[in-house]
Chain A
Amino acid sequence: MNKDQTIGEILRSKGISRRSFLKFCATTASVMALPPAMIPVIAEALEKARRPSVIWLSFQECTGCTESLTRSYGATIEDLIFNVISLDYHHTLQAASGEAAEAARAAAMAENEGKYLVIVDGSIPTGNPGYSTIAGVSNVDILKETAKGAAAIVSIGTCASYGGIPHADPNPTGAVSVSDLINDKPIINVPGCPPIPAVITGVLVQFLTFGLPELDDLGRPKAFYGQSIHDRCYRRPFYDKGLFAESFDDEGARKGWCLYKLGCKGPTTYNACATTKWNDGTSFPIEAGHPCLGCSEPDFWDGGGFYKALSKPTGDIGKTAIYAAGAGLLAGAAIGGVMHARKQAAVHKHQRATIDDLGEGS
């Protein structure tokens, strides 16, 4: 496929009609929570965009993020994303292996110097380099080498974004996030364990049409992570009326009352689950009667138990500056150590909060 063709030309050459393209743009704008007035703008920008070369690096991960992307809504609209990007290296999906695979990565880097997009899933071990290697190269080395010529990096999943489960206490491999290692490239965090498929593709479309999206203080695109699960939860009216399930089999649980007391992390979790939903838009965990685990937040595994009522940190988490640096706004290496110490202190300050405490902030 010719890389000089625009996305519009490629789609038409594949027999995808302009109407289908408009439908794709409309539903993507909807997923991105953009006002419908933006649909023609997305269509025009995407039409003229050229397919970026994408190098996908998988480090300490479970392949759940790739599963999420590839299982998105069957062979349908999200499928189009593979026409929109040129996925030049993905060691799980590509046919090539061994030296041929690594040659594909080297070729993509050389041909698209300064323009290619790096997608990372998985955290990076900083302990023994042998904990995770690809073709005998440590994850740290392959990340630094590949990031050098990248236009931007997208960290897919909580592991790449914040360290995730490998980073959980006691973090035996010394796992860190991409933004802990790279501070001279724009980094977009797309956390979630895994992230919602439509959010993965939405972020890519947003990057292609408008460039770097507006990010929150944890490096996440505000279009998808701008609101808490709690604020968009259909059970929110029960919270507001003080109606809670106290156990998984009581009257409140059967009536679908708020799961806050069963440990729901919805109030402190920013993600699109409550609106975009999962499994073809069927439902999301709370709709299935289970509290939100907060899987798209840093250190969600160490939050003190999935079924304990929410605790909230009283200190400042303090990763703000690090992620701002990752987004190319600050040179953050020097302050990284300080911020890490502050974060650790904040984690230790976690304490049980009452419902009244939570009400203050909401």
Chain B
Amino acid sequence: MEKIEAVSITVEGRGASHAPSPGCSSPSMPTGNLVPLLYEIRHALKRWLDDGQTHVIDLRTIPMSPDEERRLLEVLGDGEVRAGLAALGSSDVTETGFPGVWLVTHRNHDDVLVGRFIEVCQIPEILKSQAEDAAAALQRLDDLLANAETTV
């Protein structure tokens, strides 16, 4: 590893765009986990193409410096699909620049990041309409149509 002076100082957390204040700076060294992670994604993509096996990676469990996190998102890039969920707060489901590799970001009602996953699959499960919700929807439609003259 190079000299400590060579390491850039970055502020982590929600106030990341603000100027560093004393005692709050979080300088960080690279963990070296970025390239192995990309290999894991590569192998998962190969497995999905070969035998349809899907794969999910929880990014919160892999230590990475803020620089590495930013670099990961840059390298994966943006693809053709960008979907938003409104379920217990917002979630972004985007296909990366590598088709078949999705980035799923969950936020709570306060817009705080509560989970970030990479999914290798045709379409992330959470994007699909769920049978349980559809069954409830059918019931609601029936109720609506039962009194169509007043409700529609």
Q: Mark B69-90, 1 if CB is under 8 A from A, else 0.
A: 0000000000000000101110
A19-B126, A27-B106, A287-B12 in contact; A281/B133 too (CB < 8 A)? no
B-contacting residues, A1-49, CB 8 Å: 8, 12, 16-20, 22-24, 26-27, 29-30, 33, 35-37, 39
Q: Which residues of A contact B25 (CB under 8 A)?
A: 254-256
User: CA A37 – CA B4 in complex, angstroms?
Assistant: 38
Q: Are A19 and B85 in contact (CB-based, < 8 A)?
A: yes
| Structural contact, A234 and B58, CB atoms closer than 8 A | no
Does B94 reach chain A (CB closer than 8 Å)?
no
- Please tell me if the beta carbons of B13 and A283 are within 8 angstroms of each other in the complex: yes
Task: Determine the main DSSP class of A at the interface with B.
Answer: helix
* A74-82, A104-112, A121-129, A199-207 - the one binding chain B: A74-82
Assembled-state Cα–Cα distance A77/B23 (Å): 31
Q: In the complex the two chains form, what is the Cα distance from A26 to B25 in whole Å?
A: 31
Closest A residue to B63 by CB, please name it: A232
Q: Does A282 count as interface, using CB distance less than 8 angstroms?
A: yes
Report the separation of the CA atoms of residues A52 and B100 in the bound assembly, to the nearest whole angstrom.
41
Bin the interface of chain A by size: 35 or more
Q: Is the beta-carbon distance between B87 and A234 smaller than 8 angstroms?
A: no
Q: In the assembly, what is the distance between CA of A20 and CA of B91, in Å?
A: 10
A197 to chain B, nearest CB (A): 12
Q: Which of A19, A39, A73, A76 contacts B133 (CB 8 A)?
A: A19
| B115 with A30: CB separation less than 8 A | yes
**Assembled-state Cα–Cα distance A134/B106 (Å):** 42
Which of A39, A238, A253 interacts with B56 by CB under 8 Å?
Answer: A39
Per DSSP, chain B at the interface is: loop
Q: Count of chain B residues with Cβ under 8 Å from any Cβ of A?
A: 44
Contacts A27-B106, A75-B109, A281-B114; A17 near B22 (Cβ below 8 A): no
- Cβ A74 vs Cβ B108 within 8 A: yes
Alpha-carbon distance A30/B13, docked complex (angstroms): 18
Contact A76 B109 (CB under 8 A): yes
A272-291 contacts to B, CB under 8 A, are: 275, 280-283, 287-289
B96 within 8 Å of A (CB atoms): no
B57→A36 contact, CB < 8 A: yes
* Residue from the list B1, B9, B91 in contact with A23, Cβ < 8 A: B91
A241 and B24 alpha carbons, distance in the complex (Å): 21
Leading 7 A-B pairs by shortest Cβ distance: A36-B56, A18-B130, A76-B108, A237-B29, A20-B87, A27-B115, A289-B23
Can you list 25 A-B contacts with CB-CB less than 8 angstroms, sorted by A residue number?
A: A12-B132, A18-B133, A19-B85, A20-B88, A23-B85, A24-B88, A26-B115, A30-B58, A35-B58, A36-B117, A74-B108, A76-B89, A77-B88, A77-B114, A234-B26, A237-B28, A241-B1, A254-B22, A256-B26, A281-B112, A282-B13, A283-B12, A283-B13, A287-B12, A288-B24
13 new A-B contacts at CB < 8 Å, known A8-B132, A17-B133, A287-B13: A23-B91, A24-B88, A26-B115, A27-B114, A77-B114, A80-B88, A234-B65, A237-B1, A256-B26, A280-B110, A281-B113, A281-B114, A288-B24
Residues of chain A whose beta carbon lies under 8 Å from any beta carbon of chain B: 8, 12, 16-20, 22-24, 26-27, 29-30, 33, 35-37, 39, 73-77, 80, 232, 234, 237-238, 241, 243, 253-256, 275, 280-283, 287-289
